Amino acid sequence: MIGWILLGALALLVLITVVRAARFKPTAREREAQPSEKVDAERAARHLCEAITYPTVSYPDPAQMDFDTFHRFHAFLEHSYPLTHQALQRELIAEASLLYTWRGTNKKLAPIALLSHQDVVPVSEGTEKAWTHPPFAGHNDGAFIWGRGAIDMKNHLICVMEAVETLLSEGFAPARTVHLCFGHNEEVVGSEGAGAAAIRETLRGRGIRLESVIDEGGAMLPVHLKGILEHRTLAGIGISEKGYADFEITLHRKGGHSSQPPKHSGLGEMAEVIRDLERHQFKAKMLPFLRNLLDVAGRCMSFLPRMVACNHMLLRPLLVAVLKNIPAAACLMRSTTAVTMASGSPAANVLPQNSSVTVNFRMMPGVTTADVEKHIRKVVRNKDIEVRVLKKKEASPFSPTDTTAFRTIARLASGMAEGVMLAPYLVMGGTDACFYEPICKNVYRFSPFLASVELLGCAHATNERIPVQGLGDAVAFFKRYIRAEAS
């Protein structure tokens, strides 16, 4: 009897699941027809090529910075965008950062800011020859524009400038003040956003609070998982970015001659420390943004995976258990621990007196550097360790998604391709956007460029490039964004 009841219950459960999956349909918005937008895509391509020819490389050591190149880049912007330089006020901040102010007609409205960074990472020594086209030639082969900064992020900067120049040529006058904030050392880890922070302090000094900020960080990602999720585009809008902390963990031991070693040298003990850290990962959790991403993507999947996705609330413990073993998914669910460097004694026949490891943590919003230190002290059994923070940047709070700026970005992104799946997203890397958080609650990270995983992977690497085709759409995006947000 009990067997029959169980079987009946199971059959009912399967039936409910099948019906739910069948009704679990895309919420994908219709691709909204946009009024056509005047855009000079050819000029944008030409200007991006020229922008790449200025090697605006940033270095951690300010003495290594070639500010002259940055100043020549500024002169290039000035002669390429004459209307912008007539109508907007331009200020040079912290040697090479730029702050433009396009004054709005309504002083009561809080200004908006469009961010970009002028700097690029260096080309790794010895890899120059591996480039199909030289990294600072700014070559356009008709399909791609090649060079350092093509995708990170002179493309974005140039398209913002093109949008402003075109809007001015059409006689547009913003009601809300528009700031363009172009830092010069975003790529330098540990610069603490010197350029961006200086721009923020300039704004803060004037009593300005920004209504919204848009910067790089999210993009339009084509998705094609055969048999599961086909021919879709994921528009990820960054609403937060993970924190960053480098910790050095050190053990002091007696050292001495390696011919009479103890059972474990300091470095040997350190191996246990590493094991403790790797075995005790931070707890994985499905935050609302991830549940939403599963929901949005799940609805577009084929029937079987859709059955799983539509029950993700029920299956959450199972999903977490599976996903936390996939690094690309795990990093969206928990703060990560990566042991990256180790050192012992200076010679092969010397026992280490000071053994140390460096561990890089990327924290989820809500987990602070202090929490990480507590975690280390809790999970490492060896209580002799010395723990020191080398570098840190706290995680960003989540920006709200019920704001006009978010809705505008979402609407415009949905109009950029067919079958767009739109999802707020957690950005893994660091951007300049976080430095504006003290003066803005609505900080969004989105670059309106369609970029495959392969293309995104060439940022900071050899053969960085961007498809020429998308430039016009990106200019149109920024024109529409400014018109919507600053009118």
- Binding residues (CB under 5 A) for Zn ion: these are 152-153
Judged by beta carbon, residue 151 or residue 380, the one nearer Zn ion is: 151
Least distance to Zn ion, CB of residue 125, Å: 21
Neighbours of 438 (CB within 10 A): 12
| 3-state SS assignment for residue 145 | strand
Residue nearest to Zn ion (CB): 152
Q: Vertex 322, ends 316 and 325: CA angle to 5°?
A: 135
Strand partners of residue 246:
360, 391
Judged by beta carbon, residue 332 or residue 433, the one nearer Zn ion is: 433
Judged by beta carbon, residue 139 or residue 148, the one nearer Zn ion is: 148
Judged by beta carbon, residue 297 or residue 434, the one nearer Zn ion is: 434
Least distance to Zn ion, CB of residue 301, Å: 32
Neighbours of 394 (CB within 10 A): 17
Least distance to Zn ion, CB of residue 425, Å: 16
Judged by beta carbon, residue 120 or residue 309, the one nearer Zn ion is: 120
How far out from the chain centre does Cα 226 lie?
27
Least distance to Zn ion, CB of residue 114, Å: 14
| Structure token pair of residue 92 | 């040079």
Least distance to Zn ion, CB of residue 157, Å: 10
Least distance to Zn ion, CB of residue 202, Å: 21
**Which stretch of DSSP H or E encloses residue 224?**
strand 220-225
Neighbours of 412 (CB within 10 A): 22
Place of tokens 């053994």: 355
Pairing of strands 229-241, 420-427: parallel
Torsion of CA 160, 244, 205, 175, to 10 degrees: 30
ω before 341 within 30° of 0 (cis)?
no
CA separation, residue 358 to residues 9, 165, 370, 387 (Å):
53, 47, 17, 10
Least distance to Zn ion, CB of residue 196, Å: 11
DSSP state of 30: P
Least distance to Zn ion, CB of residue 218, Å: 12
Judged by beta carbon, residue 188 or residue 320, the one nearer Zn ion is: 188
Judged by beta carbon, residue 158 or residue 359, the one nearer Zn ion is: 158
| 3-state SS assignment for residue 479 | helix
| Structure token pair of residue 216 | 């790089």
Judged by beta carbon, residue 244 or residue 282, the one nearer Zn ion is: 244
DSSP state of 450: B
